[in-house]
Amino acid sequence: MNATVHTALVVGANGVIGTNLIEHLLSLGNWEVIGLSRKGGVAGPRLQHIAVDLLDAVATRERLAHLTGVTHIFYSAYQDRATWAELVPPNLAMLVNVVVAVEPVAKGLQHISLMQGYKVYGAHLGPFKTPAKESDAGHMPPEFNVDQQQYLERKQIGKSWSWSAIRPSVVGGTALGNPMNLALNIAVYASVSKELGLPLRFPGKPGAYDKLMEMTDAGLLAKATVWAATTPAAANQAFNITNGDLFRWNDLWPKLAAYFGLAVAPPLPMNLDTIMADKGALWQEIQAKHGLAPHDYSALSHWRFADFVFSWDYDFFGDGSKARRLGFHEYVDTEEMFYRLFDELRERKVIP
């Protein structure tokens, strides 16, 4: 990437992926950044925020009509729904509304980056081929990640801009209010266990404790996303982006427990969404006892996602060599990533 100043529109600016992406872009020095989200955010040097409901097509066009200087769209917005089929309409509509609003006015648009995941490979459905490769066959719909990519592929035909699809594994970061933050869920679960004088039990499905897993550090993901968006050889392709190592919970879990000063007892299948639902009052006591920041318990605990991850009683990993072959060589040790994220949460007084 040269010294030319680019303008990035980061869609989903307040999520664990978007916040790290904005931080990385600003650190590079030659990016102006516009963050897009429902709630907006705090502006800063080379950073502005726009609040808009992306499901409102008219409002999206009106709020984004002035973004003539955007050169790169980084799309990581997501809306959760109860079923896989219900995920498709809102998540496809949000992407379409952004592209329809920005592409006609941003004459210098160079790239649209789409954040995906291993749902493309059917990883959420059950045991899937591992290591998953970008060239693997698709699976029966519904799947909004696939619909979004197909939309960009059709839209890009005959255009001067390119697209990329970034496929991380479970993302490790510290952004609050995010429905898919496993590190935060583990930290809160461990803190509650400690307060109650309990050992840290792995709560997942029988069989999940010893399967191969991987994760993707949010900082590494940000670097890979910008790399793919600015590397000509990476244009119009998908990339698995992972830390580069594998782990099993039966090895890592006792180490995470030791970080919190906890003993480990044998795994016990527990639905965290159920057993942690009544811990809000206890968390307030923990906050008062340790002088923590007064974050609402509901903003820290999205147990349904943790239950989902801990239910994977099959290997869960992809082949990340394609990005490496084209020049992206970053690596993060997953165990060290967890410690760093826990340290950050402590420094910010999110956990004791």
Is residue 47 domain-shared with residue 165, that is, in the same domain? Answer: yes
Per-residue pLDDT tens digits for 280-332: 999 999 999 999 999 999 989 889 999 999 999 999 999 999 999 999 999 99
Q: What is the per-residue pLDDT for 195? A: 98
Q: What is the per-residue pLDDT for 3? A: 65
Q: Pick from 241, 276, 300: which residue ends a domain?
A: 241
Is residue 89 domain-shared with residue 207, that is, in the same domain? Answer: no
Alpha-carbon distance of 31 to 34, in angstroms, equals 10
φ/ψ region of 177 (left if φ > 0, alpha if ψ in -120 to 50, else beta) reads left
Is residue 255 domain-shared with residue 229, that is, in the same domain? Answer: no
CA distances in angstroms from 84 to 39, 131, 145, 290, 347, listed in the order given:
25, 23, 11, 40, 37
Q: How many Cβ atoms are within 10 Å of 47's Cβ, its own excluded?
A: 20
Q: What is the per-residue pLDDT for 178? A: 80
Which residue, 304, 306, 315, 250, is CA-closest to 118?
Answer: 315
Q: Which amino acid is at 305?
A: F
φ, ψ dihedrals at 86, nearest 5°: -70, -15
The total number of structural domains in the chain stands at: 2
CA 313 to chain centre: 22
Lookup: tokens for 242: 């992972």
Q: What is the per-residue pLDDT for 2? A: 47
- Arithmetic mean of pLDDT over the chain: 97
Instruction: State yes or no: pLDDT of 102 exceeds 90.
Output: yes
Is residue 265 domain-shared with residue 312, that is, in the same domain? Answer: yes
| Terminal C-alpha separation, the chain | 41
Per-residue pLDDT tens digits for 29-73: 999 999 999 999 999 999 999 999 999 999 999 999 999 999 999
Instruction: State yes or no: pLDDT of 350 exceeds 60.
Output: yes
Is residue 129 domain-shared with residue 187, that is, in the same domain? Answer: no
Is residue 30 domain-shared with residue 163, that is, in the same domain? Answer: yes
Average pLDDT over residues 169-180: 89
Q: What is the per-residue pLDDT for 180? A: 86
**CATH code of residue 97:** 3.40.50.720
Instruction: State yes or no: pLDDT of 1 exceeds 50.
Output: no
Is residue 152 domain-shared with residue 227, that is, in the same domain? Answer: yes
Is residue 128 domain-shared with residue 146, that is, in the same domain? Answer: yes
Is residue 119 domain-shared with residue 210, that is, in the same domain? Answer: no
Per-residue pLDDT tens digits for 181-219: 999 999 999 999 999 999 999 999 999 999 999 999 999
* Domain assignment present for 321: no
Per-residue pLDDT tens digits for 327-348: 999 999 999 999 999 999 999 9
Per-residue pLDDT tens digits for 86-100: 999 999 999 999 999
Per-residue pLDDT tens digits for 238-290: 999 999 999 999 999 999 999 999 999 999 999 999 999 999 999 999 999 99
Average pLDDT over residues 169-183: 90
Is residue 223 domain-shared with residue 285, that is, in the same domain? Answer: no
Per-residue pLDDT tens digits for 112-140: 999 999 999 999 999 999 999 999 999 99
Q: What is the per-residue pLDDT for 76? A: 97
Give the residue numbers spanning the domain of 280. 172-214+246-316+333-347
Per-residue pLDDT tens digits for 136-153: 999 999 999 999 999 999
